[in-house]
Structure 1
Amino acid sequence: MSETLRFALPLLAAAQAQKHVTHNEALLTLDALAHLHLASRSIVVPPAAEDGAAYLVASGASGDWLGRDGDIALWREGVWQFHSAFEGLVAFVADEEALIVLTGSGWQDVGPLLGPDRLVARSENGAETRLAVLEEELSGLSGAYAETSALIQDRTIVFGVSCRTITTISGAASYDCGLAGEPSKFGGSLGVSVGATNAGVIGPSAFYAPTQVRLTANGGSFSGGAVRVAVHCLLPVVPQS
């Protein structure tokens, strides 16, 4: 056997001359494939790359990548080097901020990193289920009520709206969190002191138009303060083909 089974690292031979060449090649390959960092998996034309940059060659690649679909392309010392992927290989895809793993059925998404809008499931035709936390801060509160932008998107299923008082609210004894027409849907008589919080959970509610979250003053009008509002929701994405 002249190379390792998984990473195909070259092995030293008995009484081999110039052992450092083989050894260094193995280290460089290991450095590239262990904790694999892919710049992208969607490029078909070899880009101008920095030394050490790696790509998963997309189907239909051309130029120096022609015929290398599915291989790992590594730019090293002015040339492209190619490595065969193997089942179980895990990679981070930088331009998607996602983890993928090679299975018997091909590359599969492990999942994106934590963020405000993340994929939970995707069909083979591109339909998606996404969970999201949509956040906005309302500051300089003034008047009988204050509203966010259309924080709740069209065709959103909302599970709840949480809030935190960031700056002490003046002018009101408490406030409600809700919608126009349902002022306390997500919580009533909420605290005006810094650090006061509320997790306003509800039964899943579907929204069919962009909708603002409203904070309504109780016992007087707002004359100052700030509240951070977060909508916890599910976002459906239709099939793309």
Structure 2
Amino acid sequence: MSDVAEASSRFALPFLVVAQAGKEQTHNEAVALIDMLLQPQALAVRGAPPPNPRGGESWIVAPGATGAWSGRDGAIAGWTDGGWRFAEVPVGFEMTVGGLNFIRKTEGWAGPGQVVPPEGGAIVDAEARAAILQLIELFRDRGVVAP
């Protein structure tokens, strides 16, 4: 067994190896995955492949996925000329899904949270502080503000 890695550590992009036949296939596979992961955008979070995907389209695979996505929970699924490509991304990976920011957490993908606007109350300052604390907590959860 060789001590040379066959894939990159973060995204498992395939490496070319010495005396490998069909290097273009390995190279093309890596380029397809890079294309899917560079400034990543997904159309939605889905539990099954769409009926008519187009080249370059991607989705986040929802838990309990079926069909060609079975067993790929949490992965990014991208459609290419060669069929489905899947990328398992590390915790902290961010991507846009339908115009909203999502982040890969240990327990799965997290989309943007909602902040409840303050209502009522006799002391406006307390409401403002509560709203600000909610925003700070939301930013912490998304990794925008340090804990």
Tell me if both proteins adopt one fold, taking TM over 0.5 as the criterion.
yes
How far off is 1:157 after superposition? Answer: 3.9
Q: Deviations over 1:53-109 (max 9, x none)?
A: 111111222222222221211111252222222212111102xx2111112243223
Residue 74 (str. 1) matches residue 78 (str. 2): yes
Hey, what does 1:108 align to over in structure 2? 110
1:44 paired with 2:30, answer no
Matches within 5 A, 1:14-93: 14-41=18-45, 43-47=46-50, 48-77=52-81, 79-93=83-97
Distance 1:14 1:91 in 2: 34
CA distance in 1, matches of 2:32, 2:81: 11
- Provide the rounded CA distance (Å) in 2 between the counterparts of 1:32 and 1:14: 26
Structure 1 letter corresponding to 2:47: V
Residue 34 of structure 1 aligns with an amino acid whose one-letter code is L
| Larger RCO (CA under 8 A, 6+ residues apart) | 1
Q: How does 1:201-240 map to 2 (within 5 A)?
A: 203=124
CA 1:106–1:45 in 2, change beyond 3 Å: closer, same or farther? closer
| 1:5 correspondence with 2:9 | yes
Q: Which runs of 5+ in 2 are unaligned?
A: 132-147
Cα distance between partner residues in 1 of 2:53 and 2:25: 25
Q: TM-score, normalised by structure 2?
A: 0.67
Percent identity of equivalent pairs: 34
Partners of 2:109 and 2:88 lie apart in 1 by: 13
Count of residue pairs the alignment pairs up: 119
Higher-strand-fraction structure: 1
Is the partner of 2:29 in helix, strand or coil? helix
TM-score by length of 1: 0.43
Larger radius of gyration: 1
Contact 2:74 2:109 in 1 (8 A): no
- 1:86–1:108 distance in 2 versus 1, CA, 3 Å: same
Q: Which runs of 5+ in 1 are unaligned?
A: 112-121, 123-127, 132-155, 159-202, 207-233, 235-241
Residue 142 of structure 2 corresponds to none
